[in-house]
Amino acid sequence: MTINRHHRTSSPRWLRLPQTLAILAASILWSAASPAVSQTPHNDGPWWKHAVLYEIYPRSYQDSNGDGVGDLNGITQRLDYLQNLGVDAIWIAPMYPSPQVDFGYDISDYENIDPNYGTLADFDHLQSEAKKRNIRIILDMVLNHTSDKHQWFIDAASSRTNPKHNYYVWNDGIPANSTGVTEFQKRYEHEGRVPPNNWTSTFGGSAWQWVPAVHQYYYHFFYVQQPDLNWRNPVVEKAMFDQMRFWLDRGVAGFRLDAIPTLFEDPQLREEKNLGGTNAQGDPNYSDAYQSNLPEVHDTIRRMREMINSYSGDRVLIGETYLPNTAALDMWYGGEKHNELQLPMDFLVGFHGDHDKLDVAKFRTNLDDAETKIHGSQPLFVFDNHDNVRSWDRYGDGIHNQQIARILAAILLTTRSAALLWEGQELGMVTTTPTRKEDVKDPIGITGWPKEKGRDGERTPMQWDDSKNAGFSDAATTWLPVPPSYTTTNVKTEESDPDSLLNWYKQLIAMRRSDPTLRDGKQIMIDESNSSVLSYVREGVAGHPSIIVALNFTDQPQTISLDPSKAKVSGKTVSTLLTNAPDLKQSTTLQNITLPPYALWIGSIK
Site of interaction with ligand NOJ (CB under 6 A): 102, 105, 142, 222, 258-259, 320, 386-387
Other CB atoms within 10 Å distance of the CB of residue 176: 15
Could you give the 3-state DSSP secondary structure of residue 159? Answer: coil
User: Residue 110: is it exposed, middle or buried by C-beta count within 10 angstroms (0-12/13-18/19+)?
Assistant: buried
d(CA 357, CA 380): 20
Of the residues 88, 102, 272, 320, which is catalytic?
A: 320
Beta bridge partners of 284: 278
Of 105 and 505, the one with the shorter C-beta distance to ligand NOJ is: 105
Locate all alpha helices (DSSP H) within 396-527, ordered by sequence: 401-414, 443-447, 491-495, 501-514, 516-520
d(CA 420, CA 89): 10
DSSP state of 382: E
d(CA 360, CA 536): 12
DSSP state of 513: H
The arrangement of strands across the sheet holding 208-211 comes to: 170-171, 216-219, 208-211
Of the residues 258, 369, 393, 494, which is catalytic?
A: 258
| Strand duo 208-211 + 343-344: pairing | unpaired
The length of the chain in residues reads 606
d(CA 373, CA 577): 29
In single-letter form, the type of residue at position 279 comes to: N
Give the contacts of 597 (CB within 8 A, at least 6 positions apart). Answer: 400, 403, 552, 554, 555, 556, 557
Question: Is 426 marked active-site?
Answer: no
CA-closest candidate to residue 446, choices 227, 291, 280, 217:
280
Sign of CA dihedral 414, 420, 423, 425: negative
Question: Is 283 marked active-site?
Answer: no
Sign of CA dihedral 408, 396, 421, 227: positive
Beta bridge partners of 56: 92
d(CA 120, CA 114): 9
d(CA 206, CA 174): 14
CA-closest candidate to residue 75, choices 60, 87, 53:
60
Q: Do 552 and 600 form a contact (C-beta atoms < 8 A)?
A: yes
Sign of CA dihedral 47, 51, 52, 58: positive
Residue 241: its H or E element: helix 234-249
Strands (E), 259-368: 274-278, 284-286, 316-319, 343-344
Q: How far is the CB of 258 from ligand NOJ (least distance, A)?
A: 5
Of 320 and 369, the one with the shorter C-beta distance to ligand NOJ is: 320
Write out the catalytic residue numbers: 258, 320
